Amino acid sequence: MAYDKFTILKSSAVPMPIENVDTDQIIPARFLKATERAGFGDNLFRDWRYETDGTPKKDFVLNNPIYSGKILVGGKNFGSGSSREHAAWAIYDYGFRCVVSSFFADIFKNNSLNVGLLPVQVSPEFLDKIFTAIEANPKAEIEVNLEAQTITITATGESESFAINSYKKLNMMNGYDDIDYLQAMKDEIKQFAEKSLY
């Protein structure tokens, strides 16, 4: 599935200073019944965002109009639990293009990279700085520069670099995915398979 190319993202951010945000919170299992990839953003953080009767919970950050933007900033161990790619789809479909945390669960990180959602891992100190900046100004702009691999708080100029392997970086910048890559090496895979024990 094609996704938007990622180069430089300048946006305000939505703060979620909660640790261990698991994929069941991002999208509860009962919303995984679709056979197409559409509409998952509506149920993003469903049980934190809505009462059981569907009324929005006022104190939840996505329901607070002062916060908006294409960057979601979460506490450490973001995306733990289930391998459901629906979690990354839901975040992307809602309109986010980047998730920032001091620590990501592995499968969530892979899934995000595969669907065009950039996971940016920062130090715990820098994460605090981002939360502080948003607290001071809910519209504080954050700049994520994929090519330079930097994340910057525009108002203060504070910046940190983040890691991403050059293969994935190139994919994200061009909107390519792994399926394209693998299709181009089918003969090599076929030869490998012939030697395989199983």
Partner 1 sequence: MSNKPATLFDKVWDSHVVRKIEDGPDVFFIDRHFIHEVTSPVAFLGMEKRGLKVMFADKTFATADHNTPTINQHLPVKDPLSANQLKALETNSNKYGISHWGLGNPKNGIVHVVGPENGITLPGMTIVCGDSHTSTHGAFGAIAFGIGTSEVEMVLSSQCIMQPKPKKMRINVTGKLGKGITPKDVTLYIISRLTAAGATGYFVEYAGEVFENMSMEGRMTVCNMSIEMGARGGIIAPDETTYNYIKGRDKAPKGEAWDKALAYWKTLKTDAGATFDQEYTFDAADIEPMITYGTNPGMGMGITKHIPAALAGDSKSSYEKSLQYMGFQEEEAMIGKKVDYVFIGSCTNGRIEDFRAFASIVKGRKKADHVTAWIVPGSHIVEQQIKEEGILDILTEAGFQLRQPGCSACLAMNDDKVPAGKYAVSTSNRNFEGRQGPGSRTMLASPLVAAAAAVTGVVTDPRELIA
State the minimum distance, in angstroms, from the CB of residue 154 to partner 1. Answer: 27
State the minimum distance, in angstroms, from the CB of residue 183 to partner 1. Answer: 6
Angle at 64 between CA 45 and CA 38, to 5 degrees: 40
DSSP assignment of 61-92: GGG-TT---SEEEE-SSBTBS---THHHHHHH
State the minimum distance, in angstroms, from the CB of residue 93 to partner 1. Answer: 13
Angle at 90 between CA 88 and CA 96, to 5 degrees: 80
For 146, the token pair is: 């994929």
Cβ atoms of residues 70 and 118 within 8 Å: no
Among 4, 7, 8, 29, binds partner 1 (CB under 8 A): 29
State the minimum distance, in angstroms, from the CB of residue 161 to partner 1. Answer: 15
Is 173 a binding residue for partner 1 by CB under 8 A? The answer is no
User: CB-wise, 11 or 110, nearer to partner 1?
Assistant: 110
Q: Which residue has the tokens 């100029």?
A: 157
Burial of 19 (0-12, 13-18, 19+ CB in 10 A): middle
What is the spatial distance between Cα 128 and Cα 44, in angstroms, rounded to a whole number? 24
Cβ atoms of residues 71 and 9 within 8 Å: yes
Among 10, 19, 64, 143, binds partner 1 (CB under 8 A): 19
Window 85-114: residues binding partner 1 (CB under 8 A): 85-86, 88, 103-107, 110-111, 114
Is 55 a binding residue for partner 1 by CB under 8 A? The answer is no
Among 33, 59, 65, 157, binds partner 1 (CB under 8 A): 33
Q: How far is CA 82 from the centre of its chain?
A: 15
Interaction mask 144-163, partner 1, x per CB under 8 A: --------------------
Interface with partner 1 by CB under 8 A: which residues? Answer: 1, 17-20, 22, 24-25, 28-30, 32-37, 47, 52, 75-77, 80-86, 88, 103-107, 110-111, 114-115, 165-168, 177-179, 181-183, 185-186, 188-189, 192-193, 196-198
